[in-house]
Amino acid sequence: MTMFGKVITSLTLMTISLFWVSCQKNAGEPTGPYNLTYGDSILYLKPTTGDYIISPLTHRNGIYSAFPEGIEIDDKTGAINISKSETGLRYRIIHTAPNGTITTTKIVLSGITFTDHYYRIASGDSLASPVYNASTSRILPLSGSNFDEGNLANSGGCSVKTTNGQINLAETIRNGVFGTTPKNDERKDFDIEYRLNDASGKSKNKLRVRLYYYDTMADVPPDLLTTLQDRQDLGVFLRGAGEASTSSANRIEREARPRPPCVIIIAN
């Protein structure tokens, strides 16, 4: 064989070798658009002795992340630890492929929350009602459900109705939660444990809620007003909430935190 023939043969073998390596490297990695899904848009806690974890139906190489904060997600596999996440909220799950392609989906971690809201006691606005599965239009399953299991909130003075989860704010004030004579900017956190008669199989769930007290709207500090505005304008926490523009994404990641929900009591 001539020297020229030997060179051609070597180049051919090298090309075949590189093609084989490339095929091996990409073997098993799906191509085309990524259908990022967990099988359903609402994920429920399940009765289990350990943590309840659910993974995407299809895995892709890359980085998984989520917004807002409060959800426990594995950045390599996309697996969500529902047992260690804040439930009752909508989250945006983001997958960033090695080539930079971004795929997103939205899910709800089933449970209850309370809307960030100003309750004006003097106007008779004194009942804070829970929101089910991140949508004010969804009907909370009451039959067979139990709220404030263990009496944690009620024993501390936060008046939670065990049959429907409503917080009676006027009664909470009368119970002395904010002292004999409430003062501006008094705040108290309460844990509410509950079980819902739904697809969770009555798994124990929990929520921390923060109550604020102010004499008038004029007494509410600017930073709290800003926090609520950010949540309303920038979050994905509840269905129908505003979506952020790409240009403001970095600020949102720092500032839009959905928990604990802010129940703001305005006396007059």
Sign of the CA dihedral with 9 first, then 11, 15, and 21 last: positive
Instruction: Report pLDDT digits (tens) over 131-152.
Output: 999 998 999 999 999 999 999 9
Instruction: Report pLDDT digits (tens) over 207-266.
Output: 999 999 999 999 999 988 888 877 776 556 776 554 443 333 443 344 456 788 889 999
Query: Rg of the chain over CA atoms, in angstroms?
Result: 26
Sorted by sequence, the CB contacts under 8 Å of residue 202 that are 6+ apart come out as: 47, 144, 145, 195, 196
Residue range 170-183: mean pLDDT, rounded: 96
Residue 55: per-residue pLDDT = 98
Residue 131: per-residue pLDDT = 94
* Cα–Cα dist 185/166, whole Å: 23
Distances (CA, A) of 155 to 44, 158, 183, 190, 265: 28, 7, 22, 10, 20
- Residues 197, 141 contacting (CB under 8 angstroms): yes
Residue range 18-47: mean pLDDT, rounded: 75
Residue 236: per-residue pLDDT = 61
- Domain-wise residue ranges, the chain: 113-235+258-266
- Residues 83, 45 contacting (CB under 8 angstroms): yes
Is the pLDDT reported for residue 8 higher than 60?
A: no
> What tokens appear for 230 in the block?
């950010």
Residue 56: per-residue pLDDT = 98
* Cα–Cα dist 35/54, whole Å: 16
Instruction: Report pLDDT digits (tens) over 78-101.
Output: 999 999 999 999 999 999 999 999
Fold of 113-235+258-266: Immunoglobulin-like (2.60.40)
State the residue for tokens 């009942």. Answer: 127
Is the pLDDT reported for residue 6 higher than 60?
A: no
> What tokens appear for 255 in the block?
């500032």
Residue 18: per-residue pLDDT = 45
Instruction: Report pLDDT digits (tens) over 180-209.
Output: 999 999 999 999 999 999 999 999 999 999
Identify the burial level of 38 via C-beta atoms within 10 angstroms of its C-beta, where 0-12 means exposed, 13-18 middle and 19 or more buried: middle
Look at 56-60, 114-118, 163-167, 172-176 and tell me which has the smallest mean pLDDT. 114-118
What is the pTM (predicted TM-score) of this model? Answer: 0.82
The single-letter DSSP state of residue 181 is S
Look at 21-25, 55-59, 255-259 and tell me which has the smallest mean pLDDT. 21-25
Distances (CA, A) of 132 to 141, 142, 165, 197: 9, 11, 11, 12
* Cα–Cα dist 157/152, whole Å: 9
